[in-house]
Each structure stands twice: as structure tokens, then as C-alpha cells.
Amino acid sequence: MPAHDPAQAQAHVDAEAPLILIAGTVPDATEALLRESGCRVRKTGSAAAALRLAAEVPGPRLVLVGDTVGEHSGLEVVSRLREQPATRRLPLLYLGGGDEELALALGANDCLSLPLRPLVLLARVQAQLRLQRLAELTAPGVLGAAR
């Protein structure tokens, strides 16, 4: 019987953890908070990189968009992510100050105003991930969807 290797078990858990893409300027503690909650995190400060990374397969399960992403506004990034077929249905959580209505109109799934409250951020991220899993399970052609 092979010996149990904790490092190998952790690597497997990490590979199964949802990948969250952080695009732009967000509070410093956000990345650590998401990692501590069991998520994998990738971060970019460039709008072009955010658009490219979000469209990768396999890609992130959710994108946190800050109010600025490099030389672009976070609102512009939200809009561009919704325009791309590969990212049109990807959950987007906009983290900004005062532009929540516009972010939602442009296609953000949810918004959080600054300063962030850690428990609220985690709850909103988990809610979006659950909704995404539910949508995938009930999509046409998925086992159990024909009810």
C-alpha cells in the first residue's frame, strides 16, 4: 500500500480549487483572503492580460474587476469581457467606488463597494461560484439536465 503523501494530496486539492482572476487595483488583503478560503488566485494589472487570461481554457471560474485595470477603467474591462464570446457568461464581480449601477448595467454579476468587508466578499464570491456550478449542471446536454 503506497504511503500517504500530504504534499501530493494538497497539490490535488489545489488543482481542484476554483481559480479566481483578479484584474486591476483591489485592496491588498483580497488575494490572501481568497487563498485562505481555498481558492487559487491569479492577478494582473493589465486590461489586455485580463481579457486574455479570462478567455483561457481552462480559465478562471470568476473574475474580480477593480475600479482601474492598468490604463483602463474597470467598467471598460467589464464591458469588454461581456462582448467576448469566450467570457460572456463568466461571473464578474466589480469592486469599485460608486459605479455599481453602471457596472451592473454593463454586465457585472455583482458589485462590492470599497472598503471591502472580508466576510461579504467571501460570501459573494461563493454565491457566484455556486450559481455558476448550478448553471453548468442544468445546461442542455449535461447529465441530469433533462427534467
pLDDT of residue 16: 84
* Cell numbers that stand for 50 in this block: 485580463
3-state SS class at 47: helix
pLDDT, tens digit, 9 for 90 and up, residues 105-117: 999 999 999 899 9
Confidence band of 85 (pLDDT split at 50, 70, 90): very high
pLDDT of residue 140: 79
pLDDT, tens digit, 9 for 90 and up, residues 12-58: 447 789 999 999 999 989 999 999 999 999 999 999 999 999 999 99
3-state SS class at 118: helix
Domains of the chain: 13-129 (3.40.50.2300)
Position 74 pLDDT exceeds 80: yes
In the block, residue with C-alpha cell 448595467: 105
Helices 29-36, 118-137: inter-axial angle, 10-degree rounding:
50
What is the pTM (predicted TM-score) of this model? 0.85
Alpha helices, DSSP H, located in 20-93: 29-36, 47-54, 74-83
3-state SS class at 93: strand
3-state SS class at 126: helix
